[in-house]
Amino acid sequence: MSEPVPNAQATGSSWSAFLKSIASFNGDLSSLTAPPFILSSTSLTEFSSYWCEHPSVFAAPAREPDPAKRALLVLKWFLTTLKQQYASRSEQYGNEKKPLNPFLGELFLGKWEDDAGTTVLISEQVNHHPPATAYSITNESTKVHLEGYNAQKATFSKTINIKQIGHAVLTVPDPTQDGAFDTFLITLPSLHVEGLIFGAPFIELDSASYITSSTGYTAKIDYSGKGWIGGKKNSFTATLYPTGQEKDVIYNCSGQWTKAFEIHSGPVKYNSSKTLIGSWDPAETPASGLIVAPVEKQHPLESRRAWANVAVGIAKGDMDYVGREKAKIEQAQRAMRKQEQSEGREWERRYFTALPGPDAILEELAPVVGLSANGDADKTGGLWRFDVAKEAKAKAQKELTEDEKADLASKLLGQ
Ligand code: HC3
């Protein structure tokens, strides 16, 4: 990513009006009224795919017999996802746009087919107020499985600052013991928007995030940007140590999450060519493309089908049309919620269920990384876990006919 270049469209009065509106916004990102050229036609449900654009790196820990090295491979995979997650939309220059705010029940489904076999992605908007997205990613050959959910809390101080609420859980089968697996609890970094003043927004990650495992290893990833007195943007240093012994670093990784990084054994201060045991350069490993069904084959609640008209409006810059198409969805969704309320029921999530009680993984691992044991359920509408029974039910359902799809689109999306 190069330096932010002032965006020609963003030098006008609409951008200054936008900057003024940000300074007084209430923390609800969906209520930000951004100028047309900064609107994206991609919904936040699609962002879940960023966790796995290199399926072979995702699946690699399942082949490693040593638990410390397995934890290192998990850290490596996490670090390789950061570029996709936080910079892939603004790689050339800062042009991070405002994504579509998903409706309750919105789905984004896809798969990767490559050397790692088939890896399946399921992403669902599980809550609307406050908005929360849940996801499940499974590599079918190794059974490596990631699931999690996230919401965002924004504040304004000099720029937009975002605290991510939620967490992810990675399950990796232990290749040395049939049926055994390691569990990794992953926290989500805070971030802020840079380059706003130039009309060239991009993301910088803040402070630290953690990965802690049931096998007794913890990784701490410290993020830093370009400061007043030097440093490179999108930098990080990560250390892996036995849980509770932060000073006994076994491995460390450092570099730029948008560029290359190195992996060394031992603590950072001894890093040399002798301690170098690996590296990663995204330029050398192109991401595997996600395969998504053609829009006409999709379920009416699948993101790209549901937002197709809005996307056309955004591409044409026809904001009246965008406004009308968005309003149809919002009104139909409001009517649906009213009906559910009057019937004393809730929208049935298709793939995820809110846990009614405590979660064993969080009870064991959350205190290590400063997460709350209730998974911040009060801020995400629930402690969401992937429900295999629901997945089986969804799989067993026969494909909807065109008439059934049209009925659903009309009832749920006003289309
Ligand atoms: C803050 C953000 C929406 C949330 C995005 C999240 C945190 C979503 C979960 C993904 O796993 C990681 C991720 C990456 C980027 C985050 C987005 C960046 C910008 C967007 C704001 C709502 C847009 C702010 C408007 C503008 C014009 C300044 O870009």
pLDDT digits (tens, 9 = 90+) for 164-173: 999 999 999 9
Provide mean pLDDT across the span 137-142. 98
- The whole-number pLDDT of residue 93 equals 65
Summarize the chain as % helix, strand, coil (round to 5).
35, 30, 35
Reported as a pLDDT band with limits 50, 70 and 90, residue 314 is very high
Kindly give the distance from the C-alpha atom of residue 249 to the centroid of ligand 1, in angstroms, as a whole number.
33
pLDDT in tens, 38-57: 899 999 999 999 999 899 99
- The whole-number pLDDT of residue 92 equals 66
pLDDT in tens, 173-192: 999 999 999 999 999 999 99
Look at ligand 1, atom 20, and give the residue with the nearest C-alpha.
98
Distance CA 328, CA 104 (A): 14
The fraction of the chain above a pLDDT of 70, given in percent, is 96
Question: E strand or H helix at 181, and its extent?
Answer: strand 181-187
Look at ligand 1, atom 16, and give the residue with the nearest C-alpha.
86
pLDDT in tens, 242-266: 999 999 999 999 999 999 999 999 9
Whether the Cβ atoms of residue 136 and residue 147 lie closer than 8 Å to each other:
yes
Whether residue 1 is predicted with pLDDT greater than 50 in this model: the reply is no
Phi then psi dihedrals of residue 144, to 5 deg: -65, 130
Give the residue, out of 81, 150, 160, with the most ligand 1 atoms within 8 A of its beta carbon, to mutate for a pocket test. 160
Give the residue, out of 44, 83, 136, 153, with the most ligand 1 atoms within 8 A of its beta carbon, to mutate for a pocket test. 44
Kindly give the distance from the C-alpha atom of residue 255 to the centroid of ligand 1, in angstroms, as a whole number.
23
Give the residue, out of 78, 96, 234, with the most ligand 1 atoms within 8 A of its beta carbon, to mutate for a pocket test. 96
Whether residue 301 is predicted with pLDDT greater than 90 in this model: the reply is yes
- The whole-number pLDDT of residue 353 equals 98
Reported as a pLDDT band with limits 50, 70 and 90, residue 157 is confident
- The whole-number pLDDT of residue 200 equals 87
- The whole-number pLDDT of residue 198 equals 86
Reported as a pLDDT band with limits 50, 70 and 90, residue 306 is very high
Whether residue 349 is predicted with pLDDT greater than 60 in this model: the reply is yes
Phi-psi region of 166 (alpha: psi -120 to 50; beta: other; left: phi over 0): left
Whether residue 83 is predicted with pLDDT greater than 60 in this model: the reply is yes
Q: Which two tokens stand for residue 322?
A: 């965008």
Whether residue 4 is predicted with pLDDT greater than 50 in this model: the reply is no
Closest ligand 1 atom to Cα of 38: 27
Kindly give the distance from the C-alpha atom of residue 9 to the centroid of ligand 1, in angstroms, as a whole number.
20
- The whole-number pLDDT of residue 289 equals 94
- The whole-number pLDDT of residue 5 equals 46
Provide mean pLDDT across the span 198-227. 94
Reported as a pLDDT band with limits 50, 70 and 90, residue 396 is very high
pLDDT in tens, 368-389: 999 999 999 999 999 999 999 9
Distance CA 299, CA 124 (A): 13
Whether residue 112 is predicted with pLDDT greater than 50 in this model: the reply is yes
Q: Which two tokens stand for residue 122?
A: 């399921």
Whether residue 64 is predicted with pLDDT greater than 80 in this model: the reply is yes
Closest ligand 1 atom to Cα of 98: 23
Reported as a pLDDT band with limits 50, 70 and 90, residue 34 is confident
Kindly give the distance from the C-alpha atom of residue 152 to the centroid of ligand 1, in angstroms, as a whole number.
8
Whether residue 282 is predicted with pLDDT greater than 80 in this model: the reply is yes
Phi-psi region of 370 (alpha: psi -120 to 50; beta: other; left: phi over 0): left
Q: Note the helical H segments in 260-369.
A: 303-306, 308-316, 319-342, 360-365
Kindly give the distance from the C-alpha atom of residue 86 to the centroid of ligand 1, in angstroms, as a whole number.
8
Look at ligand 1, atom 29, and give the residue with the nearest C-alpha.
97
- Ligand 1 site, CB within 6 A: 29, 32, 34, 38, 44, 47, 50, 85-86, 96-99, 150, 152, 160, 162, 164, 193, 201, 203
- The whole-number pLDDT of residue 2 equals 43
- Please report how many Cα atoms fall inside a 13 Å half-sphere around the Cα of residue 355, on the Cβ side: 17
Q: Which domains does the chain have, with CATH numbers?
A: 1-205+290-415 (3.30.70.3490)
Whether residue 208 is predicted with pLDDT greater than 60 in this model: the reply is yes
